[in-house]
Chains A and B, each alone.
Chain A
Amino acid sequence: MSKTQLVEQLKGGLDAPICLTWELTYACNLECVHCLSSSGQRDPRELTTDEAKAVLDELHDLQVFYINIGGGEPMIRRDFFELLEYSIGRGIGVKFSTNGAFIDATKAKRLTEMDYLDIQISLDGTDAVTNDAVRGEGSYDTAIAAMQHLQDAGFGEFKISVVVTRHNVDQLDEFKALADEYGAQLRITRLRPSGRGADSWHDLHPTQAQQRQIYDWLILNGENVLTGDSFFHLNALGEEPLPGLNMCGAGRVVCLIDPIGDVYACPFVIHDEFKAGSVRDEGGFSHVWKQSDLFTELREPQSAGACASCGSYDACQGGCMAAKFFTGIPLDGPDPECVSGHGEAALLAASSIQAPKPMMDHSKPSRVAVTIGRR
């Protein structure tokens, strides 16, 4: 079977996801301006420890090999280590994303002693100014301190996870050097207009010239850098495809379980329109994955729509569903960052309509100056 045939098979869906993201909590110590889940405050409906373990039991039965844990900041949950150990004990490897604030020397040692565990430290700039503009004051120092603790504890190859923006795209080589310095692996992913990113995307997303820069950089360095296959829309830029499967995996090989147990097609589409069900429903996660109307629909052949007449459709697959949805572009329209330049017209056409707003906003209330004193 060729790669193309395999991709066709995968588009029809798998018996269980390959890449399942599970956000354990909406609580976070940071308030990144591009947070895909608009995290900040804990949701009182979040899954209990027992419910979370029941989901892990189910994932074990489905033979899910590993899960990607995120948040919010997952380490904020008091049962974080308990769930980590339970998952690994059930044969489900864990990769978790963290801003590093809760990794001190002791925790780094504890994490190092666990098998089948990968850690991703989020960092969006190779200097404090660039990083903190997006992730908040002090977050650069926090991430570097966590990386240092992991290195000192002998954790081995952890990951540094970067969301590529207009402001850090020139730092890709420096990110690679930083990763090498810490014995880490670099992971770069695409910025989406999801969560709070819906408000910051227009100012942060790479320019048309920078898209080319990312493509060229990935062609040179891609084999040693993880991307979560997130840049497949760039494939229309050249003859040589980027490493990876280059397809949208939403609802087919990928899905998201959010902190309250709702199941979405991918981590970037927290919106009712892409909610397939809940792990709390009758039949649990398994039923949602195998039977839900939404996932069944996503596994049907998709229309190329407005892109059908474009010679690049086979290469770029029309781009990212989430990027279109939250910028108000029809799902069968071009990606807002279409490298053939069709995105700008589509964005212009969409500018007169109200783009769908991301849901489940858990942002902390904005601080209002309070004057204490007599009225």
Chain B
Amino acid sequence: MLDATLTLHPQVALRPEPFGALAYHYGNRKLIFLKHPDVVRVVESLDGTATVAETLAACHIDEARWPSFEQALTNLQTSEMLQ
């Protein structure tokens, strides 16, 4: 996962909310709650970086927290929010 190149699916829109953001996939109609502002920050930064590790570093995410971000991004990949 850390070496993977991920981008936001072109049919996904993010809407900021007090708890983080809502992600909506216009293709498969899935609505997902991004329940932490840091996850939103990371997802928004994916497009400008080559690997997930690079994104996490660029967003100054403490390495101790990387496993939980890997899990969150994997879930988003499963629901096709990320590709």
- A interface residues (Cβ-Cβ under 8 A, vs B): 1, 5-6, 9, 12, 14-16, 18, 63, 65-66, 91, 93, 116, 118
- Is there an interface contact between A1 and B35, defined as CB atoms closer than 8 Å? yes
Cβ of B16 under 8 Å from chain A: yes
Distance A292 CA – B22 CA, assembled complex (angstroms) = 23
- B interface residues (Cβ-Cβ under 8 A, vs A): 13, 15-20, 22, 24, 26, 29, 31, 33, 35-36
How many whole Å from A71's CB to the nearest CB in chain B? 22
User: CB < 8 Å: which of A1, A9, A18 contacts B31?
Assistant: A18
Which residue of chain A lies nearest to B35 when distances are taken between CB atoms in the complex?
A1
* Contact residues in B for A6 (Cβ distance below 8 Å): 19, 33, 35
Given contacts A65-B26, A93-B26, A118-B29, contact A14 B36 (CB under 8 A): no
Which residue of chain B lies nearest to A116 when distances are taken between CB atoms in the complex?
B26
- Is there an interface contact between A15 and B18, defined as CB atoms closer than 8 Å? yes
* Contact residues in B for A15 (Cβ distance below 8 Å): 15-18
- Is there an interface contact between A12 and B18, defined as CB atoms closer than 8 Å? yes
- Is there an interface contact between B31 and A63, defined as CB atoms closer than 8 Å? no
Distance A1 CA – B29 CA, assembled complex (angstroms) = 23
Distance A352 CA – B35 CA, assembled complex (angstroms) = 47
Q: What secondary structure prevails in chain A residues at the interface with B?
A: loop
- Is there an interface contact between B13 and A91, defined as CB atoms closer than 8 Å? yes
Distance A14 CA – B33 CA, assembled complex (angstroms) = 12
Q: Max chain B CB contacts within 10 Å: which of A5, A65, A91?
A: A65
- Is there an interface contact between B19 and A63, defined as CB atoms closer than 8 Å? no
How many whole Å from B37's CB to the nearest CB in chain A? 11
7 tightest A-B contacts by CB?
Answer: A1-B35, A65-B24, A63-B15, A9-B19, A14-B17, A116-B26, A6-B35
Q: Max chain A CB contacts within 10 Å: which of B20, B33, B36?
A: B33
Distance A66 CA – B15 CA, assembled complex (angstroms) = 13
* Contact residues in A for B18 (Cβ distance below 8 Å): 9, 12, 14-15
Q: Max chain A CB contacts within 10 Å: which of B16, B26, B31?
A: B26
- Is there an interface contact between B15 and A1, defined as CB atoms closer than 8 Å? no
Distance A118 CA – B17 CA, assembled complex (angstroms) = 26
* Contact residues in B for A116 (Cβ distance below 8 Å): 26
Distance A333 CA – B35 CA, assembled complex (angstroms) = 32
Distance A220 CA – B24 CA, assembled complex (angstroms) = 27
Which residue of chain B lies nearest to A65 when distances are taken between CB atoms in the complex?
B24
